[in-house]
Structure 1
Amino acid sequence: MANTQLPEVFATEAAQVNTEVDAGAGKHVEPELLGLAPYQWVSISMLVLLAIAFLGAKVHKTIAAGLDSKIAAIKQQLDEAKQLRAEAEALRQEYADKIAGAEKDAEAMLENAQHEADALLVKAEADSKAMVERRKRMAEDKISAAEREAIDDVRNRAAMAATSASRKLIAEKHDAAADRALADKVIADI
């Protein structure tokens, strides 16, 4: 082991590294950074950590308060949204009920109109039948009245013709002597 290599050590300017190795006993060199020993760095780190924790607690409270206010605002917005949704649902249900009621009313009105139309049709048919019957009777009455007038007219003419013919016949065949005998007979019968 004649040629032993020593490990290469990198050091900063402030730190002095002893690279000499005694053949017998070695001298222990403490590592340092910026002139501070490791325990000093641990102490500074703890102080920084405690300062951050102390100051961070206040920041944490501020952040927590900000987040809490944001959460409260979001909850309020959610509650408002739920309320608006409930109102919208109620309005939708109300309008759905109104539409259903309007459809039922429309159906009822249509059914009522159909019944009225059917009743009017039945009444119109009955009225037309009654009117036809009335006109038929009136026509029959006019015809029978015309027949009676015609019969009366024929009877009157026949009576006048018979009277006129009997006058002529009586005048031709009956003279004054026959009149006297007939008047005497009538008087005797009374």
Structure 2
Amino acid sequence: MFDVLSEAAGEAVHAEPTLAGLEAYQIVSIAMLVLIAVMVWKKVPAMITGGLDAKIAEIRKALDEARVLRAEAEALRAEYAAKIASAEKDAEAMLAGARKEAEAIRAKAEADSQEMVARRQKMAEDKIAAAERAAIAEVKAHAVAAASTAAKALIAKVHDKKADKKLADEVISSL
């Protein structure tokens, strides 16, 4: 019917290809059904779902590994945070110990310096006392020397040979 009208209008009409009396759309539909049937017979959908399932399993495994790694990272972070806190406490304890030790050293140095000052003062006092005794001994020696010189001069003045002879005779007679 289309052919008749087309020829009457003066247009060239082309014949549609057919196969065993089937039109082109029917051939395509049959080919698609055969293709789907072959794919179902060869279990292509199972292979596709199997491949997808394997990919899903890989992704799940990667996610599980990521969760494990995250948990390990959080544990390490917590461990290092604890170590840092412990190190800070240790540093504070060391600082407090160093302050105590410095205070003890300062106190000991102060006590030692006071003791040294007392010792030096005692040594100075001992030297002064020794110098005083030496000066007294020297003054006494000078006094004895002056007294003996004065006594000698006095005896020489008051005592003459006659008095010496008389004194010597008295001593001899008393023996």
State TM-score, norm by structure 1: 0.66
Q: RCO (CA 8 Å, sep 6+): is it higher in 1 or 2?
A: 1
| Pair 147,122 (structure 1): closer, same or farther in 2 beyond 3 Å | same
Offset of residue 96 of structure 1: 1.6
In structure 2, C-alpha distance between the alignment counterparts of 1:186 and 1:51, rounded to whole Å: 177
1:151 to 136, 142, 148: 136
Deviations 1:76-95 (A, max 9, x none): 10111112112212221222
How does 1:63-74 map onto structure 2 within 5 Å?
63-74=48-59
| Cα root mean square deviation, aligned | 3.2
Residue 91 of structure 1 pairs with residue 86 of structure 2: no
Residue 141 in 1 paired to residue 133 in 2? no
What is the CA distance between 1:71 and its match in structure 2? 0.8
Task: Quote the offset at 1:142 in angstroms.
Answer: 0.9
Q: Distance in 1 between matches of 2:147 and 2:118?
A: 42
* Unmatched runs of 5 consecutive residues or more in structure 1: 1-11, 15-34
What is the Cα deviation at residue 122 of structure 1? Answer: 0.4
Report the alpha carbon displacement of residue 120 of structure 1 after superposing the two structures with TM: 0.6
Determine if the alignment matches structure 1 residue 110 to structure 2 residue 123: no
Q: 1:101 aligns with which of 86, 91, 101?
A: 86
Report the structure, 1 or 2, having the larger helix content: 2
Deviations 1:121-179 (A, max 9, x none): 00100010011111111111111111111111111001100111010001100123333
Q: Which amino acid aligns with 1:79?
A: D
How big is the shift at 1:186? 9.0
Residues 1:119 and 2:104 are matched in the alignment: yes
Distance (whole Å) between structure 2 residues aligned to residue 168 and residue 59 of structure 1: 157
Q: Secondary structure at the match of 2:152?
A: helix
Q: Residues 127 and 74 from structure 1, CA distance in 2 versus in 1: closer, same or farther, beyond 3 angstroms?
A: same
Distance 2:72 2:37 in 1: 48
Match of 1:162 in 2: 147
> For this pair of structures, how many residues does the alignment match?
150
| TM superposition shift of 1:185 | 5.9
2:156 to 171, 185, 188: 171
Tell me, in whole angstroms, the C-alpha distance in 2 between the residues paired with 1:100 and 1:139.
Answer: 57
Which one has a bigger Cα radius of gyration? 1
Counterpart in 2 of 1:19? none
Q: Is 1:128 aligned to residue 97 of structure 2? A: no
For residues 51-96 of structure 1, give each alpha carbon's deviation from its aligned partner in whole angstroms, at most 9, with x where no partner exists.
8588459343222112211111101101111121122122212222
The answer for unaligned runs of 5 or more in structure 2 is 4-20
- Identical pairs, percent: 55
Alpha-carbon distance between aligned partners in 1 of 2:154 and 2:173, rounded to the nearest angstrom = 24
